[in-house]
Amino acid sequence: MSDVKWKQKTCDALKSHAAIYKVEVAAALWCGVPPDMVDKVIGQCKPTGNTSLASAILRHPEVECIEVYCRAIFEAMDEGVLSFTYEDGRELGPDKYVKYGRRHVKRGVLKDWIAKEYPGDKPDFLFDEIERGTHKAINAESFRALQVELEADKKRLQKADKICRELGSQIESLQKERDQLLKERETATRMVPDSVISSLLKMVLGMAVNTYKYDPDANRNSATGGNAGSISADLQSVGLTIDADTVRKYLNEAADRFKVILPK
């Protein structure tokens, strides 16, 4: 099988997470030495002395921080604030002694320690751009700008929420008023029997036909206008005000009901 995907799959992220560093390697990487040059740079280093500790602290003729970081790491280990392991990552008991030259540190442990003790000096091999705070899209200035924008959005949202609540209250009030009017209309309708309404419409239609010569089939009727001699004008002359549209409305309703019984 020439194309086997599982053979091509990498696990770089997991390998990086599970990495274990010898102290001088961690110091070199912390200094910014590229991973592919670490062995060469360490090969150019010399021990700072003959004791067990001094022989494990390396000094480079050009990369001075290797010695500094070696000392800082070993000091933290001796003080018990930075745990260390064997070469194979085996954990050590509290009273177990390991020679300085064999001490290793797990990536996660080293990262947590540096973040706590040296928050302003986060090396690339442990921290990504966002964690170091150097990502182009996330820096102090852009973060403050985002905070200002977020606060403005929050105020706009609060204002919109207030307007929505006010509109909701107005709508609820209008709905209650509408329901009340419908209820009153229904009640008023029930209070006047249809027989009474029919009788009144008959009276109105009869008087309009007999007195005002109202013709339901005519396109124009002087009885339903606003002119002198119309129903509306005559009512107004005795102090009763009903507009011409109202007169036409009820005469049309009466004609629809009783036109068939009117004399031809």
- Domain assignments of the chain as residue spans, ordered by start: 12-132, 139-191, 194-261
pLDDT at 1: 45
Q: What is the pLDDT along the chain (264 residues), one digit of tens a residue?
A: 455 555 555 555 545 557 899 999 999 999 999 999 999 999 999 999 999 999 999 999 999 999 999 999 999 999 989 989 888 888 775 567 788 999 999 999 999 999 899 888 889 898 887 777 755 566 667 777 878 888 888 888 988 888 988 888 899 889 999 988 888 877 776 666 777 777 888 888 888 887 888 887 777 877 787 788 788 888 888 888 888 888 888 888 888 887 655 655
In 3D, which of 5, 41, 2 has the Cα closest to residue 24?
41
pLDDT at 96: 73
Vertex 155: Cα angle to 153 and 159 (nearest 5) = 115
Phi/psi of residue 191, each to 5°? -70, -25
Predicted TM-score of the model (pTM): 0.48
Vertex 168: Cα angle to 165 and 172 (nearest 5) = 140
Q: Is 27 exposed, middle or buried (0-12, 13-18, 19+ CB in 10 A)?
A: buried
pLDDT at 212: 82
* Backbone conformation region of residue 187, classed left if phi is above 0, alpha if psi is from -120 to 50, else beta: alpha
Give the tens place of pLDDT for each residue, 107-120.
Answer: 999 999 998 998 88
251 Cβ neighbours under 8 A, 6+ residues apart? 204, 205, 208, 214, 216, 223, 224
Give the tens place of pLDDT for each residue, 195-239.
Answer: 777 788 888 888 888 788 888 777 787 778 778 878 888 888 888
Phi/psi of residue 87, each to 5°? -60, -35
pLDDT at 182: 87
The single residue listed with the structure tokens 């011409």 is 244
| Residue 254: how many other CB atoms lie within 10 Å | 24
pLDDT at 135: 55
- Contact present, 32 and 62 (Cβ < 8 Å): no
| Residue 77: how many other CB atoms lie within 10 Å | 18
The single residue listed with the structure tokens 């009466």 is 254
| Coil vs helix vs strand at 85 | strand
pLDDT at 254: 82
